Structure 1
Amino acid sequence: MELRHLRYFQTVAQELNVTRAASLLHMAQPPLSRQIRQFEEEVGVALFDRVGRGLKLTEAGRFLLEQSLQLTQRLEETLEGTRRIGRNEKRWFGIGFVPSVLYGVLPELIRVLRDDASQIEVGLTEMITVQQLEALKSGRIDLGFGRLALNDPAIAQRVVRAEALVAALPASTAVPATPLTADALARHPLILYPARPRPSYADHVLSLFRAQGLQPHVVQEANELQTALGLVAAGIGITLVPSSVQRLHRDDVRYVPVDAAGFVSPVIMSYRAGDVSPYLLRAVEWVMRQRGE
């Protein structure tokens, strides 16, 4: 599949008329019609219903249009950033992060880095800690924020902070607001995230229960924090989240403190060992100042 085929599809899908789409694309109608048919064959499903002289998107077509527009917009942003870097206008600085750190130190660090907008292009990629280490070694990112300590001589890791965990429960649950013990938590069905890849924060949570001699009943695994909270709101079970996530206000979820030894989750900053980039050093020094070092 070529990018031009996707652009042909988007134009036809937005116009719902091959003649108008062909005019916008500066090409004849018959070749465009052939390209659209070939594109549908390659995708393997019908993207358009032919209605009289016009077209109508199928459910699959509507989904592809919505998703592909997001992809091409991101591609355009990436290409523009590439051009700026290629013209030596900016230096690329990639940051990988787990979603929960967006409620802590990361947003302010991004603002600090972007204050020097003439020199640095900050790229953000959501990924778990294991993925961050691989991305650091391959050079795709320069700095990572995760929640797992992993032993790799190529990577330096520093604990930024240790966050207390809180239990996320459905708002309608008749549980007192007093802290929940590990035993009380283990009696609730548990929702884990992320489901994959592993090891991840999910394994950290399970290890906390094991350290207490407990085996929680895992009823569901989700890949994302927001999905886990949605499942909590639906009454499927509870989940454990870092305390900073409480800043994410939801009317259908309530947060209850946890009273159990060791039920914390560290925020761990990772970067390539020996990297002396001034942008990295600036970022690391700023983060550590926030914790008083």
Structure 2
Amino acid sequence: MELRHLRYFVAVAESGSLTVAASEKLHTTQPSLSRQIKDLESEVGAQLLTRSVRGIELTPAGRVFLDHARVVLSQVEIAVESARRLAEPTKPYFVLGFLTGHESTWLPEALQLLRDELPNIHIVVSSQVSPQLAVGLSKGTIDAAFLRREEGTSDLAFRLLVKEQLEVFMPVGHRLASRDGVDPRELRGEIFLSISAKALNGVGGPPALRIVIDAYLKKCGISLKPSHEVDNLAGIMSLITSTGGVALLPTYAKNLLPVAVISRPLKGVIPTVDLCIGYKKDNPSPVLQIFLSRLEELIDRVSRKTHQVSPGARVKHHHG
């Protein structure tokens, strides 16, 4: 098994299409990509992907493999860049972590902001699920990350960027898809899909998003036991299409919507989950201090660009 096999598999899983992955992400031909995926499945000894009218979907084995493939690729990238850091010790170096799916919104502005201050800075981007980002911050392999307020992270500091509203995600043909808004009580009896309660982190507690979802359902007096749980958005999107189930996810998940999935806002008091900048309290990086000093500007830039951050969701920050 080679790293390119993992990269190819992740690209196909995230795009939901061999054609799109081959032409837009990997710049190769579809027959070549198909052969690489078959070689990978032969090496693993399990079918990872299936074809359907909706495109390429992950099998249960594929969903598990996707989580680990992302971790492996991320660790390899960090290992390579750590070696380069030692080889070029005089070059400013900064590892920026992103909750998968948020790159399209925050990454361009964050990179521009850092390069305005430090034109020659070497920036490494690491995309992972929130609990893994928290582990990276604690271990010192990531300098700053866009993530949730994960539990068991007393060595980390968090600065609020935005409160993200949750919506109901469902197949386009679902009975609730024609509604302008969904009453949470209408979710009773549905196949319910959720973020895994077992975080991929050092503490083993549930991820912050799962805590928010469970608290919201409890407050609404609704008992929904997840039929399936998964650690990443790509896996949940695949499950929505394959099971016909519904999920409560932050609005940013629309960045990863396949054509077969749609979202609808919730009625009543809408739950939110914090998106923060997290960093280790004792990280001495001067680049980190520059980055933190310009967070307000970053929020303003993204707000103007997307027009999706409501005034009530933005927060003034104070250093310390």
Equivalent-residue separation in structure 2 for 1:72 and 1:267 (angstroms): 24
Where structure 2 has 5 or more consecutive residues not aligned to the other structure, the ranges are 6-38, 47-64, 200-204, 301-315
1:220 to 210, 214, 228: 228
Equivalent-residue separation in structure 2 for 1:107 and 1:76 (angstroms): 20
Equivalent-residue separation in structure 2 for 1:222 and 1:73 (angstroms): 19
Quote how far apart the aligned CAs of 1:89 are: 4.7
Quote how far apart the aligned CAs of 1:63 are: 7.6
Q: Is the 8 A contact 1:103 1:244 kept in 2?
A: no
Which is higher, the Rg of structure 1 or of structure 2? Answer: 1
Alignment of structure 1 residues 115-154 onto 2, 5 Å:
116=118, 118-129=120-131, 131-148=132-149, 150=151, 152-154=153-155
Q: TM-score, normalised by structure 2?
A: 0.62
Where structure 1 has 5 or more consecutive residues not aligned to the other structure, the ranges are 1-5, 11-56
Q: Is residue 100 of structure 2 the alignment partner of residue 99 of structure 1?
A: yes
Quote how far apart the aligned CAs of 1:187 are: 4.0
Equivalent-residue separation in structure 1 for 2:185 and 2:162 (angstroms): 26
2:42 to 46, 56, 60: 60
Q: How many residues end up aligned between the 2 structures? A: 236
Alignment of structure 1 residues 232-271 onto 2, 5 Å:
232-271=240-279
Matched residue type, 2:184: A
Cα distance per residue 1:207-254 (max 9 Å; x no partner): 111122221131111121011011112234111121122233421011
Q: TM-score, normalised by structure 1?
A: 0.67
Q: Is the 8 A contact 2:109 2:298 kept in 1?
A: no
Q: Is the 8 A contact 2:96 2:123 kept in 1?
A: no
Equivalent-residue separation in structure 2 for 1:96 and 1:121 (angstroms): 10
Alignment of structure 1 residues 7-86 onto 2, 5 Å:
60-61=42-43, 75=76, 78-79=79-80, 82-83=83-84, 85-86=86-87
1:181 to 180, 183, 188: 183
Q: Is the 8 A contact 1:90 1:121 kept in 2?
A: no
Equivalent-residue separation in structure 1 for 2:213 and 2:141 (angstroms): 28
Quote how far apart the aligned CAs of 1:74 are: 8.3
Identity %: 19
Quote how far apart the aligned CAs of 1:85 are: 4.4
Quote how far apart the aligned CAs of 1:152 are: 4.4
Quote how far apart the aligned CAs of 1:162 are: 0.4
Q: Is the 8 A contact 1:94 1:125 kept in 2?
A: no
Alignment of structure 1 residues 198-209 onto 2, 5 Å:
198-200=205-207, 201-209=209-217
Are the structure 2 counterparts of residues 76 and 252 from structure 1 closer, same or farther at C-alpha, using a change threshold of 3 Å? closer
Quote how far apart the aligned CAs of 1:133 are: 3.3
Matched residue type, 2:130: I
Residue number in structure 2 paired with 1:192: 194
Equivalent-residue separation in structure 1 for 2:231 and 2:297 (angstroms): 32
Query: What secondary structure sits across from 2:288 in the alignment?
Result: helix
Quote how far apart the aligned CAs of 1:291 are: 3.5
Are the structure 2 counterparts of residues 63 and 93 from structure 1 closer, same or farther at C-alpha, using a change threshold of 3 Å? farther
